[in-house]
Amino acid sequence: MPDTPYRAMRRTKIVSTLGPATTDHATIRALAVAGVDVFRLNFSHGTHEDHAARHAVIRDVEAELGRPIGILADVQGPKLRVGTFANGRVQLTPGAPFRLDLDGAPGNETRVSLPHPEIIAAAQVGSTLLLDDGRLALRVCERGPDFLLTEVVVGGPLSDHKGVNVPDVVLLIPALTDKDRVDMAFALDLGIEYVGLSFVQRPEDVREARALACGRAWIMTKLEKPQAMDNLHEIITLSDAVMVARGDLGVELPPEQVPLAQKRIIRMARQLGRPVVVATQMLESMVHAPTPTRAEASDVATAVFDGADAVMLSAETAVGSYPREAVAIMDRIVRRVEEDEVWRRQMETSSPEPDHSVAGAIAAATRQVAATVDAAAIVAFTLSGRTALRIARERPSCPILGLAPNDEIARRLAVAWGVQAISVGQETPVHTVESVVDQALAVAKGDGYGIVGDAVVIVAGLPFGVAGSTNTLRVATLT
């Protein structure tokens, strides 16, 4: 692949996690050239210094390539774990009793510390506890003020500090821990675009994060708890973007329910006009292999057919042996799907009902007009990014150029389906319909999105410069 900036005619975006395998400038640049639109910094691992160094490299690469690149700071969330064992590990036998308690002493084959009183308080007789990413299962038989007596349902080895999942209980713990608050403040000061909010159970979790962000970044809610599915509409409404985090979701939901949950989340996110990312194990075998399995390729394609805004690589690029190849193959899979006529028809027929607002009506009309005049591009003047998101929700067949007032908004749109964001700044402010049209045509032509004679559909709000005032649609011709 030539080492030149790419201009993605690909609609579905790619998110890539950085880690020990992807720290230096040359590697991160290679990933961006291969097709990454958003880089993820995983605050479950690494130090603040590590993340600051990667952030600086991303911004250098962004300047070199001349296109906005988004950065997602994914905070860890509450990690529930058992304590330690006297010998480091034990073997749990199906049918045997096993006690979880608040005693911090090292455990053995009959008990272990569970330093989370909120789990003990919330669990009921009959509740299920899953340990070590769901490999072991316990059923609660008795509950006391400081212990749970359980029966081993699925046995196996259990070692120090393995994770605990409680799929059928709402735990009264905040989604943001003290560590997350420190990490979030650090990431916001760096100047990231999205905060990934882990283990959300209730709408209140999202409200808390929004209050802390105070508009400095978009909140990307990770949907990985069954309890969040019970409040899905309100949680997505409160979020700026969402992620189908299939790792923990797959631990707490039966495997056969995860694909249905994925489709439901994507469908509702699109209906509400929120970008949605599908994540976890998409090309997992490429952690160690230079090519994916056919099932993994189909998994990526399914997310694209479902209408996801973005697909994400995790361990594949964070610790894998073939990070650039993983991005390149994901790019190829996405592009091939988007060349398919069935995919195009599916995007058109799955368009949700317009919301009942002037801006919603304008966005729906934009797609129809662009299709009727065979427009080369849609140019959306978007002060906050919302106008571009409304048009992306309609899944038009031509590119969407999101003209943003600054780099910050342009970078936030890096995750949005079909949007190629451009920071036009405030050097040449536009105040009239004529000046709006002139600037839109100049950008479309200058960036190679059409030739003389092509139609361009222009969307803006007048009076210009007022967020949320999208009310104008014009068709103009490139000259």
Give the H/E segment covering residue 189: helix 178-190
| Residue (of 24, 25, 28, 45) closest to 36 by Cα position | 28
Give the H/E segment covering residue 39: strand 38-42
Q: Count of CB atoms within 10 A of residue 353's CB?
A: 8
Which of 7, 59, 79, 81 is catalytic? The answer is: 81
ω into 463 cis (within 30 of 0): yes
Which of 67, 162, 222, 390 is catalytic? The answer is: 222
Q: Count of CB atoms within 10 A of residue 45's CB?
A: 14
Determine the 3-state secondary structure of 162 from DSSP. coil
Give buried/exposed letters for 288-327 (b at 16+ CB in 10 A, else e): eeeebeeebbebbbbbbbbbbbbbbbbbbbbbbebbbbbb
Instruction: Please tell me the distance from the alpha carbon of residue 87 to that of residue 67, in angstroms, as a whole number.
Output: 53
* Residue 280 is a catalytic residue: yes
Chain Cα centroid distance, residue 55: 18
Which of 10, 29, 40, 411 is catalytic? The answer is: 40
CA distances from 182 to 118, 178, 188, 277, 340 (A): 22, 6, 10, 25, 46
Instruction: Please tell me the distance from the alpha carbon of residue 405 to that of residue 164, in angstroms, as a whole number.
Output: 45
Which of 280, 317, 366, 470 is catalytic? The answer is: 280
Q: Are 271 and 236 in contact (CB under 8 A)?
A: no
Q: Which pair of tokens denotes residue 5?
A: 């900036």
Pairing of strands 97-101, 147-154: antiparallel
CA distances from 186 to 74, 177, 183, 368 (A): 12, 14, 5, 44
Residue 368 — left, alpha, or beta (φ > 0 → left; ψ -120 to 50 → alpha)? alpha
* Residue 81 is a catalytic residue: yes
* Residue 222 is a catalytic residue: yes
* Residue 40 is a catalytic residue: yes
Chain Cα centroid distance, residue 140: 34
**Catalytic center residues:** 40, 81, 222, 280
